[in-house]
Structure 1
């Protein structure tokens, strides 16, 4: 373990946290063992004591340089932009040295700040509602390649960004995708619907275990690549033990679970509301030579009206799978469910709605160190 990681494990190593400039990591002053114990106690109390349920050892995270995505609010001036957060008065607080981000992101942020100044893109001022650049979003792949997205209020600066793109790519040879996202409204929304890709390449390759995933600018991916890899390995292990002939992967995103369990003559269908994510998952399956199918649609109703698969994987947003899908699973012939949840409260609610599907295995994964957030994966058996 590096000195920085060891320091974080003992608590309060961050100058921004110590001085109160940034308190986003609410548990940063707790030793890491104490953090993990608190997560375990909270999640197990929410899921409840259940006969036959075995908890696997918690998957721990690195405590520094684990975030593969930086979501930086842009403040300051066109000559001296800040990348980080805003203080209570709307002024920029520069956090480009945040110890949570992966090393390629930390190394890239100064060059990106220089590129913003060079292209004369004015930071957006939330108090006056003037300016253009709202956020800078940077994603790092396991190979150290980058996706850079600039969230702008309008297209006013796009031509200048195109003009200065060669200089940016020269400064950041690892940047594979650079895009502009348009978010014209003055409200607390990180990004808008429209994306303008400036580079020839439009997707970032994410190598996770033995699977290459492709992230488009608005694709969702877990913020902790190493722990996400462990999540997919655990899901694959449980699926292999269950030996299903058919698998439905609901809320499949860019295909993480589906691509990890495909093969062996297994019929795998992934369903995701985002057509772009389905396009990415289909590309990965084609490149890997896997017989997995993907389609865009509503995951809550996607399996209704047809033959139920032997096993269903669900990886819903924080709101959970909801009453309709839970009722369908309860009434179906599905033998196993692998449920990956980022909210144990809605997981517990959904489990209560599916009493015929008994949780037999569970595992907590610390996807978000220094916070009360968590990821828990559960195997249900009829």
Structure 2
């Protein structure tokens, strides 16, 4: 496949390779990572996509000027340089058309472009989200400040020409950062969301919520997840890093309950709406950091039969792994868009007794270096078992019950002898009291085990007193009585 800016853009590293070649390379890379981390994993064949172009449902474009003329395009790899591109083969056709129109409007309305070096100007990026099943489009103007001249005319011109546009928002990002969006979003048109169909469900999402980039392959991924989890109607599921709730909601009909956890409050509101509009009543969603929630679950000893995690590219945390495995779920399903961080995490899961022998691959990103990986972890089981038949009773080959009772009594742990017991014995028998320090001194002289007291001091304020010979003998008598000596 040929692209005029492919070498400059760098977004599609495998543009010159066939799908078979891409699949082979990606599988080999995962196998190498597994070997490097000493993980004995069988790597499955890549589930390739039917649609390998025009699949991206989220597009971010930048704007720049060349000899005074505004142009739009994609960011060159590992840079903030905008590469002119009006007809990217990975973007849906409608998205490409909207980008061209926005470029024209930005130029004609003289909307000031943001300059990262001087930190001046207004328009930083335009983000477009597309719902493949419904053809709904969301346009997000990312600006450096709230004041947005001509925005009303800009919005009117776009919605007049493109009936697919269901909502337009402005996201305000005044920070000096490479992160595209920040917290403040201003509604310009529509209700701030678009709705797609996924695995037979209506899924709505807003501008800052996560949604898998390849909708059709997402259905392949979730179908695989459903089969791997193999849920029963009594299973409870914890879906961490849940985004707008897609994984948990697609599994809800197969289990008793689903709890979704996500740090992004906007995504959680979307998830609650998605449950409601699909009439799913056994799912609840909580806005909290997934690691923090897992540690709280450990604290309160919550039980989940299946824990699912689909973390960002950085992977999950050590605390998450320790807490999740302490809950002893039957299964842990791990979905990752970065095999490198997944392998790192699988090593830690293995140390906690949760292992897998196979990793599945789904190509969510045709023509790129990226691959989605899925593993099902379960608690390590015994390698083998020994079966022994034992008969109790009287007669040849049988074990007498009385004999077992006697042996059990012989092996019964001795009652712990405390200083209080020794002091009470001496007072009852001899009529005087002994100090704890005297008992400790006698034990020390006899070479008995001693333990540091938590309130011990390095230096005494007064000289230590020693027990009289009479008290020494009384203490030894008590120690003999309790079978300490």
Q: What's the TM-score once normalised by structure 1's chain length?
A: 0.89
Q: Which moved more, 1:194-203 or 1:115-124?
A: 115-124
User: How much does 1:376 deviate?
Assistant: 0.3
User: How much does 1:333 deviate?
Assistant: 2.0
Q: Which moved more, 1:181-190 or 1:62-71?
A: 181-190
Alignment partner of 1:70 is 2:59: yes
Instruction: Pick from 68, 79, 85 the counterpart of residue 74 of structure 2.
Output: 85
> Aligned equivalents of 1:229 and 1:326: distance in 2?
27
> Aligned equivalents of 2:144 and 2:104: distance in 1?
20
- The number of residues matched between the two structures is 367
SS in 1 for 2:286: strand
Residue in 2 that maps onto 1:146: 137
User: How much does 1:39 deviate?
Assistant: 0.6
Query: 1:261–1:107: structure 2 CA closer, same or farther, 3 Å change rule?
Result: same
Unaligned stretches of 5+ residues in structure 1: 1-7
SS in 1 for 2:261: strand
> Aligned equivalents of 2:335 and 2:34: distance in 1?
13
Residue in 1 that maps onto 2:432: none
User: How much does 1:24 deviate?
Assistant: 2.5
> Aligned equivalents of 1:275 and 1:297: distance in 2?
8
Query: 1:257–1:364: structure 2 CA closer, same or farther, 3 Å change rule?
Result: same
Instruction: Assess if the C-alpha contact under 8 Å between 1:119 and 1:161 holds in 2.
Output: no
Residue in 2 that maps onto 1:59: 47
Alignment partner of 1:162 is 2:180: no
Q: Which moved more, 1:190-199 or 1:122-131?
A: 122-131
Instruction: Assess if the C-alpha contact under 8 Å between 1:83 and 1:136 holds in 2.
Output: no
Query: 1:16–1:54: structure 2 CA closer, same or farther, 3 Å change rule?
Result: same
Alignment partner of 1:372 is 2:355: no
Residue in 2 that maps onto 1:4: none
Query: 1:264–1:318: structure 2 CA closer, same or farther, 3 Å change rule?
Result: closer
Residue in 2 that maps onto 1:34: 21
Residue in 2 that maps onto 1:332: 327
SS in 2 for 1:58: strand
Instruction: Assess if the C-alpha contact under 8 Å between 1:83 and 1:113 holds in 2.
Output: yes
Instruction: Assess if the C-alpha contact under 8 Å between 1:147 and 1:204 holds in 2.
Output: yes
Q: Which has the larger radius of gyration?
A: 2
Q: What's the TM-score once normalised by structure 2's chain length?
A: 0.71
Query: 1:104–1:209: structure 2 CA closer, same or farther, 3 Å change rule?
Result: farther
> Aligned equivalents of 2:333 and 2:360: distance in 1?
11
Residue in 1 that maps onto 2:190: 200
Question: Relative contact order: is structure 1 or structure 2 higher (C-alpha 8 Å, sep ≥ 6)?
Answer: 1
Query: 1:66–1:200: structure 2 CA closer, same or farther, 3 Å change rule?
Result: closer
- Equivalent residues in 2 for 1:1-382 (5 A)? 8=1, 13-17=2-6, 20-48=7-35, 55-61=43-49, 62-76=51-65, 80-85=69-74, 92-142=82-132, 143-157=134-148, 159-240=149-230, 245-264=235-254, 266-290=256-280, 291-302=282-293, 303-304=297-298, 305-355=300-350, 356-382=353-379
User: How much does 1:380 deviate?
Assistant: 1.2
> Aligned equivalents of 2:377 and 2:252: distance in 1?
20
User: How much does 1:370 deviate?
Assistant: 2.3
SS in 2 for 1:368: coil
User: How much does 1:361 deviate?
Assistant: 4.2
User: How much does 1:127 deviate?
Assistant: 4.6
SS in 2 for 1:326: helix
User: How much does 1:289 deviate?
Assistant: 1.1
> Aligned equivalents of 2:107 and 2:95: distance in 1?
18
Instruction: Assess if the C-alpha contact under 8 Å between 1:75 and 1:86 holds in 2.
Output: no
User: How much does 1:77 deviate?
Assistant: 7.3
> Aligned equivalents of 2:256 and 2:128: distance in 1?
36
**RMSD, aligned α-carbons:** 2.4
Residue in 1 that maps onto 2:424: none
User: How much does 1:315 deviate?
Assistant: 0.5
- Deviation string 1:157-198 (CA, Å, 9 cap, x unpaired) is 2x5212442221011111111111112234433222211111
Query: 1:244–1:342: structure 2 CA closer, same or farther, 3 Å change rule?
Result: farther
User: How much does 1:254 deviate?
Assistant: 0.3
> Aligned equivalents of 1:86 and 1:317: distance in 2?
21
User: How much does 1:136 deviate?
Assistant: 0.9
SS in 2 for 1:286: helix
Instruction: Assess if the C-alpha contact under 8 Å between 1:72 and 1:83 holds in 2.
Output: yes
SS in 2 for 1:197: strand
Instruction: Assess if the C-alpha contact under 8 Å between 2:61 and 2:75 holds in 1.
Output: no
> Aligned equivalents of 2:307 and 2:175: distance in 1?
39
User: How much does 1:299 deviate?
Assistant: 0.6
